Homo-oligomer: A and B are copies of this chain.
């Protein structure tokens, strides 16, 4: 495990000064073609890699980006991470991924850790509704998906339209009594989906006694349990359900089926996120698909601009969504 070469040693070997080596590495220009080639050759030959600590110390740049996510196991966030990773790699940034696991204390530890590591910027998908102020963080931050109170720049899906499309699909499929079955923590995306849902309902002339709003924790088991209780206590007084994610849809469908109701026969269901499972379960779930690549790219793009001191034209970047129709809202059956 021989220790790495320094720029000094490379300079000695190449017969130039460190300044020239540094210039070539960062292609600052101001050297001859031959010099450039020779330096590159030697760097290659000796497998030299610059010491990021040293250059970071000097420039006060770490060339690294922090990415905070609430749940790396969630396909939606995993996809965003993948896209961010790819984007930043291209720009020669390293990505520090922090999985806060929806835990506020963990999130804080991670954040401190990131700051200590001198990240140049942060992509922040927070589990909290309130977040440190920009000046407390001290580096550019782009929020994604969830919008905390003091978010400056936010990239998120068009959740209002998502909720609208999902609900419209139920209405078009003939549902007369529709339930909004949402993550009870009511984070901003869920609130917006609810707004879109209301809008569709109003437009279609639904009265208050034909629309219902229910909250649940957003996982499979909680949703199943919640729907069981509803069916047990009040019976099946609805014929369409819009859940704010696909795992909830799975739970709702299973509860419905175990009570003898057919989906989509008696009740139609629309989910959100288009996770892989939604395509392989029975019935396949109609869902709202978010454009994760676009979300990631726009967020990364905005962050890089902020890091380079360029101004951001739009502080609130909204990415279109699309409805993916499947069996859980089909008319036949």
Contact = CB atoms under 8 A, between A and B. Distances in A.
Interface string A90-122: 001011111101000010011011111110000
B64 A72 contact: no
A75 interface: yes
Interface in A37-61: 47, 49-54, 56-57, 60
A277 B57 CA distance: 47
A62 B53 contact: yes
Contacts of A53: 52-54, 56-57, 62, 118
A82 B101 contact: yes
Contact of A280 (B89, B114, B139, B280): B280
A81 interface: yes
A86 interface: yes
B94 A117 contact: yes
Contacts of A110: 89
A92 B78 contact: no
Contact of A282 (B3, B60, B85, B281): B281
A81 B51 CA distance: 26
B97 A85 contact: yes
B51 A57 contact: yes
Given A72-B78, A277-B276, A50 B92 contact: no
Contact of A96 (B2, B81, B92, B95): B95
Given A116-B50, A250-B280, A281-B281, A109 B89 contact: yes
Nearest to A280: B281
Contacts of A1: 134-135, 138-139
B57 A72 contact: no
A82 B94 contact: no
A79 B101 CA distance: 12
Interface in A1-60: 1-4, 47, 49-54, 56-57, 60
Contacts of A47: 136
Contacts of A52: 53, 62, 116-118
A179 to B, nearest CB: 21
Contact of A85 (B89, B98, B118, B276): B98
Interface in A113-153: 113-118, 134-136, 138-139
A138 B95 contact: no
A73 interface: yes
B62 A73 contact: no
A278 B97 CA distance: 27
A116 B250 CA distance: 45
27 contacts: A1-B134, A1-B138, A1-B139, A2-B135, A4-B138, A47-B136, A49-B112, A49-B116, A50-B116, A52-B116, A53-B56, A53-B118, A54-B57, A64-B117, A72-B78, A72-B81, A72-B82, A78-B78, A81-B97, A81-B99, A85-B98, A85-B99, A89-B113, A94-B96, A94-B113, A276-B277, A277-B281
